[in-house]
Amino acid sequence: MNKTERLPNWLKKRAKLSPNRPALEFEGKVLTFRELDSLAEEMAAKLASQNVKRGDSCALLIRNHKDSVVIIHALFYLGVKIVMLNTRLTAAELIWQLRDSEAKLLLSEQYFCEKLNDIQSFMQEISIIEKEDLASIRGIEDVAILEEFDLHETATIMYTSGTTGNPKGVIQTFGNHWWSAIGSVLNLGLTEQDSWYCAVPIFHISGLSIFMRNVIYGMKVVLVDKFNETEANQMIIENGVTIISVVTTMLNRMLINLGSEKYPNSFRCMLLGGGPAPRYMLLECKEKGIPVYQTYGMTETSSQIVTLAPEDSLQKIGSAGKALFPSQLRIEKDGLEAEPNQPGEIVVKGPNVTQGYLNRKEATDEAIKNGWLYTGDIGYVDEEGYLFVMDRRSDLIISGGENVYPAEIEAVVSSHPDVFEAGVTGVSDEVWGQIAVAFVVRKPGSELTEKQIIEYCLTCLASYKVPKRVIFCEELPRNASNKLLRRELRKRLED
C-alpha cells in the first residue's frame, strides 16, 4: 500500500485546523478559512445540482476574483478536473483548447458574454454556465465532497504551446501542486504573519500556485483583479503584505512608483519569475535592500522549480538559484552533463514536474525522458551550482509575463493570402520585457502593409501575442534542412 498517495482534502483540512485565520482578502473584505470552506461547499452543492460530477472536466474562464477561488475549491470538492483558460485568448483559441481538453462544461462569468456567445455558436455540444446564473440556484443538500485528494489524480490542466505551435494541455496532479508548495516553503520559510499578494492571473500557474500554498500553509492571500503598482506598493507598506509574485514589468513599475520610499522589514520576498530580468533593475533592488528572489519555473513544473535562497537573494544577482529541495537540475549539452559555466539545455526533475501533456504521448515522450523534463530553455550553472537562464525555450518570447510562441504567430501571419512566409522573434522592450516582431516575405506584387498584418492578427490572436512590429524582407534565414533560424532574425534586429 502506497501511504503517500492520499491526503485530506486541502481546504477542508485547513478549515478544520485554523478556521479563524484570514484566508483571502479581496476588495477590502477578508474571508477566514472557515468562511472560504462554507462558500466552496455551497458552490459545490450548486454545481452538483447542474449535473457537474466526479471525473468530469470543467473549463474555467474567469478573472481574478474571490468567486474564482471559491469555484476552484468547489470543483476540487466534487472531484472535477479543471481546465484553466487564459482570459486573453480569442474565442477561436478558446474553442481549440475546449475541444482538445474534451471539457463537458465551461464555467465563466457575464463579463465574457461576447466570447461565450461566439464559443457557444461554434460548440453547441458544450454547456456554458455563467457564475451569475448560479446565484439563484439551490444546491443539492447532501452533496458528496471528496474527503481525500489522491496525489496522482489530475487537479488542473493548463495549456502551453512550445516550438510546435499547437497548444498542449499540461496535466497538473494534486501531487504536482503539493510538492511545488512544499519545495517553496522549504526555501522561503513560513511565518504566522505571512500574506502573499496575488496580482498575477489565477489561470496561470504563477497565480494558481499561490492559492495552493494558501490552503496548504494556512497563509493569507490578498487577491486583486488587476495589477496596479500604486496599490501593490501600498499593500506592502501599509497592509502587511510579506510576499509578492511579480514579473519584470510589474517590478519595474513598482520601483518607479516607489521612488525613494522604502519597504518595511516585514516585507520579505519579491518573487520574480517569468523570464529574464534586466541587470540594472536587480542592482537597483539590491541598493534599495529589496529582497528579490529570482525564480525559474513553468507550467510543466507547477510553478517554481529553481529559486534563489534567502541568503543569496541580495548576493547572486541575475541567477535563478538552485533546484528546490525535492527537485533536481542539470544542464545537458550533446547528451552529456555540461561543465560549470558551459551553456546547454536546462533539464529538471522532481515530484512537481508534470507527468505529461493531455492525449499527447509523442510530445510527452519527447519532453520527458527517464523522469527528466527537457525544457528547451538554455542556461548554465556556475561553479557553486547556481543556475543562470540565458534564453527561454530558444524561441519563446515572454511579453508582460505571458508566453508568446513564435510558431503560433507565424502560422497566423502566414495564413494571410498576401503573405508568402513569415518568421517571428522577440526583441527587448522597456515596458513589456519583450515584444514580438514579425519578418514577412510578401507574395510577388502584394502591397500588404504593417498595419494590415497587425489588424489581421488581432482578429484571431489574443492581443498580447500580436506582433508590435512587422519588417518586410526578401527571404527568411533557413538552415540546410530548411528550418527557420529565428536566432538569425534576432541578429538582424540587433544589427
Contacting positions for a copy of itself (CB under 8 A): 1-5, 7-8, 13-14, 16-18, 20-21, 151-152, 175-176, 179, 182, 185-186, 189-192, 216-218, 309-311, 322, 325-328, 350-351, 353, 355, 371, 385
Using alpha carbons, select from 299, 2, 352 the residue that is nearest to residue 167.
299
What cell numbers appear for 65 in the block? 476574483
What cell numbers appear for 72 in the block? 476552484
CB of 337 to a copy of itself, least distance (A): 13
CB of 300 to a copy of itself, least distance (A): 12
Complex with a copy of itself: residue 148 or 429, whichever CB lies closer:
148
Q: What Rg value do the Cα atoms of the chain yield, rounded?
A: 23
Using alpha carbons, select from 310, 308, 328, 309 the residue that is nearest to residue 318.
308
Complex with a copy of itself: residue 190 or 255, whichever CB lies closer:
190
CB of 363 to a copy of itself, least distance (A): 17
CB of 80 to a copy of itself, least distance (A): 22
Complex with a copy of itself: residue 279 or 289, whichever CB lies closer:
289
- C-alpha 254/C-alpha 282 separation (Å) is 13
- Under a CB-based contact definition with an 8 Å cutoff, are residues 190 and 217 in contact? yes
Q: Check residue 138 and report its DSSP letter.
A: P
- C-alpha 353/C-alpha 368 separation (Å) is 9
Complex with a copy of itself: residue 16 or 487, whichever CB lies closer:
16
Long-range CB pairs of 252-261, under 8 A, 24+ apart, other chains included = 252/281, 252/430, 252/431, 253/229, 254/229, 255/281, 255/284, 255/285, 255/288, 256/229, 257/229, 257/230, 257/233, 258/233, 258/288, 261/233, 261/237
Complex with a copy of itself: residue 17 or 144, whichever CB lies closer:
17
Complex with a copy of itself: residue 36 or 470, whichever CB lies closer:
36
User: In 3-state terms, what secondary structure has residue 450?
Assistant: helix
CB of 54 to a copy of itself, least distance (A): 21
CB of 375 to a copy of itself, least distance (A): 17
**Ramachandran class of 482: left when φ > 0, alpha when ψ lies in -120 to 50, beta otherwise:** left
CB of 328 to a copy of itself, least distance (A): 6
Complex with a copy of itself: residue 17 or 30, whichever CB lies closer:
17
CB of 214 to a copy of itself, least distance (A): 12
Using alpha carbons, select from 247, 246, 222, 225 the residue that is nearest to residue 235.
222
- Under a CB-based contact definition with an 8 Å cutoff, are residues 31 and 69 in contact? no
CB of 385 to a copy of itself, least distance (A): 6
Give every CB contact of residue 308 below 8 A, 6+ residues apart in sequence. Answer: 292, 293, 294, 295, 316, 319, 320, 321
Q: Which residue has the cell 511579480?
A: 246
Complex with a copy of itself: residue 99 or 369, whichever CB lies closer:
369
CB of 193 to a copy of itself, least distance (A): 9
CB of 285 to a copy of itself, least distance (A): 19
Complex with a copy of itself: residue 121 or 371, whichever CB lies closer:
371
Q: For residue 34, report the phi and psi dihedrals to the nearest 5 degrees.
A: -65, -45
Q: For residue 134, report the phi and psi dihedrals to the nearest 5 degrees.
A: -75, -20
Complex with a copy of itself: residue 325 or 478, whichever CB lies closer:
325
- Show the beta-strand stretches assigned E in 316-444: 322-323, 328-333, 336-337, 344-349, 368-369, 372-381, 387-391, 397-399, 402-404, 419-429, 433-442
Q: Rounded to the nearest 10 degrees, what angle do helices 229-238 and 248-258 cross at?
A: 70
- Under a CB-based contact definition with an 8 Å cutoff, are residues 456 and 450 in contact? no
CB of 109 to a copy of itself, least distance (A): 32
Complex with a copy of itself: residue 8 or 240, whichever CB lies closer:
8
Complex with a copy of itself: residue 188 or 466, whichever CB lies closer:
188
